[in-house]
Structure 1
Amino acid sequence: MKQFSRQKHYLAFHAVVVTLFVSAAAHARQNPCEGMLVPDVYALNIVPNIKPQVVTTRPALSSPGVVDSWLHLGRRAVADPDFKTLSDLERRPLTEAQKMALIAEAKADRRALYDELVAKGMDKKEAARVVQTPYSRQVIAGLYQEETGLVPYKGGLIRPRLRLAPASETHGLDLEKAGAAFVHVEKTWSDLARQSPASSEGSLIPAPFPFLVAGGRFREAYYWDAYFGAIGLVQTGRWEMAAAQLENMLHMIQVYGLIPNGFRDYYLTRSQPPVIALYAMLIYENAPASIPKEKLREWLLKRVYPLLSQDYNDFWMTQRYDPETGLNFHSDAQNRMRPERHSNDDERALGETFRDVPRGGRERPGSTRMPPWGVLARGFGDAQQLFVLLREYPREAGRAAGDEITADRYRLLRERRRAAMNRYNWDAKDGVFRNYHLRDRRQGEVVSAEMYAAMYVGLASKVQARRMVSFGEKFLERKGGLRSSTVDSGKQWDGVHGWAPFHMMAIEGARGYGFLDTAKRWTVKWTVALSEIFWRTGNFYEKIDVEKVAAPHEDDSKYPTQTGFLWTNASYVWALKFLGFDFRE
């Protein structure tokens, strides 16, 4: 897998980077092909051995899990502790008479249970509350079914075939444990692979190509999981599957006007920090020689260029932009309880921190909820992380299309972004980038490992990078890797929790700025931790406890930690490669 320095070589980025970070004329969000005549995925793609299926388009927030009153009742009554299960159900093909009969039977059973509880001395009000749970379960079981059509992908692109080869240096890894963990990762690629149906009666957004799900309760593709997972796919020679998922993301921009948080209709109101440019660069730079350069260039100029332009202009710079500061922010277009939440999730806490209000948080822009960071304990807008990733979008824009005027324009915008970042997000006293609270116009108090995104894309100066690395060594580094933040809130993107994306960005950033010893040490700690935890538990987890080097402690404030897990698996493969290990058939 080809490597690239995000610090030194942006000026030398070739056609891909140009296409990645560009902005063209805005075009119709509902019908982008009509505005730009962009070839769709069926007319132009670079996946050689898989034919894309023709899929139907669906409106946002239209699935039973979002609109049906019975499933709303199920959430209120906690018919299932994981509301995502309810949100992803499909309606059974029943007649109205069948539905009425099911409901009548459930009502009779509810009344019988109510009378029984009252007869045993339960307060009538309490009895009325208690019977709602079995009542809603009975009705939902009769009216709905688990989604159909989302099936395992059986193609040969991801079959297990590799083993861990010896390296000249072990870096302190137990090779038996490391090898066993690698075998598990190899097997899990196929366990996570799915093919969607061409149309969906539930919440699923159909995709043209197969994809990898994150794992556990997350039974669909996710934006960030796909990108970081693709790094592992490319590292293990599965470029075509990685490219197929990128094509799905481009399809989402073309059809829906954004890349949703995940491939469900309830995610169409929010995205995740924009890594689509980095994703396209990853696929382009690692394309096999069997794909003609002319085909790649056509794909870049005719498809990637305008679609990334649309994502940049029509979404990030229009719907998630604060003109007063020049900063971008995350938000959910809907000010509502998340239908996919777990019953343990405290939505009130999210409302105090990362939930947004309609129209991109203009009334309360600091209270945005920023995927993928999930549940944190911070009350300020994450302009920092998003802004970093948006910074490189324009870069050498016009050169791909031979347009120097466009290139000059976006070179200027890029420097304005750097200046705004340094003005609002850089803390010169502590030597860190902080989030900026858009509502109160102040920096946040918490320092997060997400600051290393500034190094990952080469935004930080050498001095800034040195100070961030020093801060991380003192306050974030632990036995098993990097803490997520300096605060122990119990929320999953804070405290002792170690996440694959943070480690990949921090380590790549440290390497790119020349802090090789630190990068190596962080990589060794993360790799050893993952292999040790797998050896004890047989699992790769969504996140780990980097202080205890264990699966995270569970409490009742959020959904349980999931296993699988796509980006953690990919980070393990990537870390082994970083340390000089190889994989052989």
Structure 2
Amino acid sequence: MVSKRRFFSFIFFLFLLNAPVFAQEFQLETEKTMQRLLQQADTDGDKKVTVEDEPKMPFLIPRSQGDSVAIGEIYYLSNLLQELAIARGNDEDYLEISLEEIQEKPADRISRRIKEQFWDDLTRTIDRKGIEKILRDTKASDGVQRLYVPATDTSGIKYYKDLQQELSGFEVVVLPEKITPQYVKSINEKPGLLALKIEDGRGVPFVVPGGRFNEMYGWDSYFEGVGLLIDGRIDLARAMVDNFIYQINHYGKILNANRSYYLTRTQPPFMSSFVREVYEAMEEKDEKWLRKALEAAIKEYGQVWMVKGERLTGNGLNRYFAEGIGIPPETEKGHFDEVLRGFAEKYGLEVSEFVEKYQSGEIDAPEVDEYFLHDRSLRESGHDTSWRLENRTAYLNTVDLNSLLYKYEKDFEYLIDEYFDGRFTTSTGKTYTDDHWEEKAEDRKELMNRYLWNENSGSFYDYNFKTGEQTGYTSATNFYPLWSGLASEEQAERMVPQLMHDLQAQGGILSSARSSVEKNATNEVQRQWDYPYGWAPHQMLLWQGLLDYGYEAQAYELIYRWLWMITKNAVDYNGTIPEKYDVVDATHKVYAEYGNVGTEFDYITTSGFGWMNASYQLGLELLPEQYVEKLNALVPPGELIFK
């Protein structure tokens, strides 16, 4: 028996033989057509047209000649629904659309929408124009919308204080000059956004990770910037660097995100790469801007990462180390109940009573303090959460962090040599030479090879400086030395086969190996930065690392797998571009400890997800054209040979 879907596809194929109507435009009544389409095609009532629907009949589009064109393909019906949703959102009574637009090739459509729509939808400003969105912030637990402003930003204080007089329900709070963990804990019940740069009476724009966010995140911003530069949005990428400069100068660090409870926490460092890539994308080089940005990056390197006893450990390598007191307030209520139950039992208390007494300071529990030191540091790493880091993050010299700081040192060396004749003097009179940073990088490489490289297995591993042992955990982060350029050719030759064997999956690169999860997990909870999940930043860094070391075939295969998965899911599920994927089953339907941002929408996604968008644009830029053609045809990766 022929399935209904195949029957409709056959009808559409017959229609395609009628070439003269291919370029014809249709004028459709927006609301009437949309309701008719939903009634016929959205059979499960989720306000989308997906492969889970069973259209009742081919959908007929009327032509001016009085006859109709039949469409039965789910993808084409979904595209039509999306275009009708856009027209309705623009208050257009009629939609003019051609069959060619309905049939737009999937990779072309995704890329076009990222460039033309998604970036703008994800852009925010914290100023008079953009504040209305912030005033609807659902994270204001007590109903008051607060904005915290640094004491050092006098012009910002005046701007926002004036704005406070205009807006009801909006409170401006000036931060103390010295931010302590005690102060941050004291305002946890009064959360709010942190101010960013105001210039010429307007907020400097930034891109948020997803549509429900209002804050600028640390490492998300760099990857978004990569996508923005590809799409010609140098202005927006530069603006984000400007906001990072503001954060370094006024908050002392690039923040995990500009939220009050993130004041003591940063994220993986990508500032030097961001500065370098934005500057080199400028048609007219602004040396004054480069000087300011480079100085800020050097300042961040010194005062955030190279403070002994904090993020710099005794062996000369670095760790994530997020200060704070108590339970991280951004987590949902009850998130830590399973962990805290064991501690509560020692005190003969119920979990809720223990939490109350611990948070108030009535109970002094150093072992709980240590657990949350590791948890906050894990969140600072950006990998929240992973069994790789569980309950030991602050004791680890991680491969990822030290690779990123090696990249800082090499970027500083390059920028000073290339643009400042080998000598750079800051506004405070401190002078750095390119040789200084070359020496720093070589020192770090030697230490990483001593502590993190395992000659027997041919891999870098995180090093637990408390136990004096490598963790042996196989993670995508073990391969960051390929991206940073730290690995030798001989090391790369041993690492790449492991990457392809241990971490390649149907949809791209796994966050970690299944064997490592099984060995380290203490319960059955799936951590979202572990097997079977895959994330955009890992893909982007390792693609580039493979290409830099000459492993083109491996890079192209991994790129294709990732793009194929994104494209296939978008085609089947109404254009969905989510936060993360299960790369084993190549699906956006994930069941980890947190949900999947970007999957909940009606009719059409307007923003995708920031670094997912960027990974798509980067992948298309790196992938040879013959593979892009296969991608548009949704040819499974297993049917291709990569060269």
User: Does TM-score exceed 0.5, indicating one fold?
Assistant: yes
Query: For residues 368-383 of structure 1, what are the structure 2 equivalents within 5 Å?
Result: 368-369=377-378, 370-378=380-388, 379=390, 380=392, 381-383=396-398
Q: Secondary structure at the match of 2:571?
A: helix
Tell me the CA shift for residue 180 of structure 1.
Answer: 2.9
Structure 1 segments of 4+ aligned residues over 6 angstroms from their partners: 360-367
Query: For residues 427-576 of structure 1, what are the structure 2 equivalents within 5 Å?
Result: 427-486=454-513, 487-488=516-517, 490-537=526-573, 538-555=575-592, 557-563=593-599, 564-576=608-620
Structure showing greater Rg: 2
Correspondence 1:189 to 2:119? yes
- Of residues 241, 244, 248, the one that matches 1:249 is 244
Query: Who is 2:639 aligned against?
Result: none
Correspondence 1:314 to 2:303? yes
Write the distance in 1 (CA, Å) between the matches of 2:546 and 2:450.
Answer: 23
Write the distance in 2 (CA, Å) between the matches of 1:375 and 1:216.
Answer: 22
Correspondence 1:203 to 2:192? yes
- In structure 2, the CA distance between the partners of 1:438 and 1:365, relative to structure 1 (3 Å rule), is farther
Contact 2:224 2:610 in 1 (8 A): yes
What residue identity is the alignment partner of 1:468? M
What residue identity is the alignment partner of 1:408? D
Write the distance in 2 (CA, Å) between the matches of 1:362 and 1:424.
Answer: 25
Tell me the CA shift for residue 511 of structure 1.
Answer: 0.2
Query: Who is 1:177 aligned against?
Result: 106
Write the distance in 1 (CA, Å) between the matches of 2:505 and 2:290.
Answer: 42
Tell me the CA shift for residue 326 of structure 1.
Answer: 0.9
Tell me the CA shift for residue 579 of structure 1.
Answer: 1.3
What residue identity is the alignment partner of 1:368? S
Query: Who is 1:139 aligned against?
Result: none
Contact 1:181 1:535 in 2 (8 A): no
- In structure 2, the CA distance between the partners of 1:350 and 1:458, relative to structure 1 (3 Å rule), is farther
Query: Who is 2:210 aligned against?
Result: 215
Write the distance in 2 (CA, Å) between the matches of 1:455 and 1:500.
Answer: 16
Tell me the CA shift for residue 402 of structure 1.
Answer: 4.5
Q: Secondary structure at the match of 2:124?
A: strand
What residue identity is the alignment partner of 1:326? G
Contact 1:252 1:259 in 2 (8 A): yes
Tell me the CA shift for residue 347 of structure 1.
Answer: 7.4
Aligned pairs, number: 399
Tell me the CA shift for residue 350 of structure 1.
Answer: 11
What residue identity is the alignment partner of 2:533? H
Tell me the CA shift for residue 325 of structure 1.
Answer: 1.4
Tell me the CA shift for residue 554 of structure 1.
Answer: 1.9
Query: For residues 391-410 of structure 1, what are the structure 2 equivalents within 5 Å?
Result: 391-395=406-410, 396=413, 399=417, 400=420, 402-403=422-423, 406-410=433-437
What residue identity is the alignment partner of 1:196? I
Write the distance in 2 (CA, Å) between the matches of 1:532 and 1:507.
Answer: 20
What residue identity is the alignment partner of 1:385? D
Write the distance in 2 (CA, Å) between the matches of 1:274 and 1:566.
Answer: 18
Write the distance in 1 (CA, Å) between the matches of 2:488 and 2:340.
Answer: 34
Deviation string 1:422-457 (CA, Å, 9 cap, x unpaired) is: 111112222221111232221113111012221111
What residue identity is the alignment partner of 1:339? P
Deviation string 1:255-290 (CA, Å, 9 cap, x unpaired) is: 1110001111211211111100000011011012xx
- In structure 2, the CA distance between the partners of 1:528 and 1:386, relative to structure 1 (3 Å rule), is same
- In structure 2, the CA distance between the partners of 1:430 and 1:349, relative to structure 1 (3 Å rule), is farther
- In structure 2, the CA distance between the partners of 1:529 and 1:405, relative to structure 1 (3 Å rule), is closer
Tell me the CA shift for residue 214 of structure 1.
Answer: 0.5
Q: Secondary structure at the match of 2:409?
A: coil
Contact 1:337 1:347 in 2 (8 A): no
Deviation string 1:391-434 (CA, Å, 9 cap, x unpaired) is: 13234276436439733333222111001111111122222211
Q: Secondary structure at the match of 1:392?
A: helix
Q: Secondary structure at the match of 1:527?
A: helix
Correspondence 1:338 to 2:328? yes
What residue identity is the alignment partner of 2:623? L
Query: Who is 1:415 aligned against?
Result: 442
Write the distance in 2 (CA, Å) between the matches of 1:274 and 1:394.
Answer: 12
Contact 1:213 1:219 in 2 (8 A): yes
Deviation string 1:16-55 (CA, Å, 9 cap, x unpaired) is: xxxxxxxxxxxxxxxxxxxxxxxxxxxxxxxxxxxxxxxx
Write the distance in 1 (CA, Å) between the matches of 2:195 and 2:337.
Answer: 28
Query: Who is 1:275 aligned against?
Result: 270
- In structure 2, the CA distance between the partners of 1:552 and 1:337, relative to structure 1 (3 Å rule), is farther
What residue identity is the alignment partner of 1:337? I
Write the distance in 1 (CA, Å) between the matches of 2:239 and 2:254.
Answer: 15
My pick for the range that moved more, 421-430 or 559-568, is: 559-568
Query: For residues 10-409 of structure 1, what are the structure 2 equivalents within 5 Å?
Result: 176-186=105-115, 187-197=117-127, 199=160, 201=171, 203-208=192-197, 209-288=204-283, 291=284, 293=285, 296-301=286-291, 303-318=292-307, 320-343=310-333, 345-346=335-336, 368-369=377-378, 370-378=380-388, 379=390, 380=392, 381-395=396-410, 396=413, 399=417, 400=420, 402-403=422-423, 406-409=433-436
My pick for the range that moved more, 565-574 or 266-275, is: 266-275
Larger RCO (CA under 8 A, 6+ residues apart): 1
Q: Secondary structure at the match of 1:445?
A: coil
Q: Give the alignment's Cα RMSD to 1 decimal.
A: 3.1
Deviation string 1:205-236 (CA, Å, 9 cap, x unpaired) is: 12221111101543311111111011111111
Write the distance in 2 (CA, Å) between the matches of 1:393 and 1:184.
Answer: 33
Contact 2:452 2:463 in 1 (8 A): yes
- In structure 2, the CA distance between the partners of 1:408 and 1:234, relative to structure 1 (3 Å rule), is closer
- In structure 2, the CA distance between the partners of 1:438 and 1:322, relative to structure 1 (3 Å rule), is farther
Tell me the CA shift for residue 243 of structure 1.
Answer: 0.7
Q: Secondary structure at the match of 2:194?
A: coil
Tell me the CA shift for residue 324 of structure 1.
Answer: 2.1
Contact 1:350 1:375 in 2 (8 A): no
Give ranges in structure 1 of 5+ residues lacking alignment: 1-164, 166-173
Question: Normalised by the size of structure 1, how large is the TM-score?
Answer: 0.63
Write the distance in 2 (CA, Å) between the matches of 1:344 and 1:533.
Answer: 33
- In structure 2, the CA distance between the partners of 1:343 and 1:445, relative to structure 1 (3 Å rule), is farther
Write the distance in 1 (CA, Å) between the matches of 2:455 and 2:338.
Answer: 33
Write the distance in 2 (CA, Å) between the matches of 1:315 and 1:262.
Answer: 15
Query: Who is 1:54 aligned against?
Result: none
What residue identity is the alignment partner of 1:529? M
Write the distance in 2 (CA, Å) between the matches of 1:552 and 1:331.
Answer: 33
- In structure 2, the CA distance between the partners of 1:366 and 1:383, relative to structure 1 (3 Å rule), is farther
Give ranges in structure 2 of 5+ residues lacking alignment: 1-99, 128-158, 161-169, 172-190, 198-203, 343-365, 424-430, 600-607, 629-643
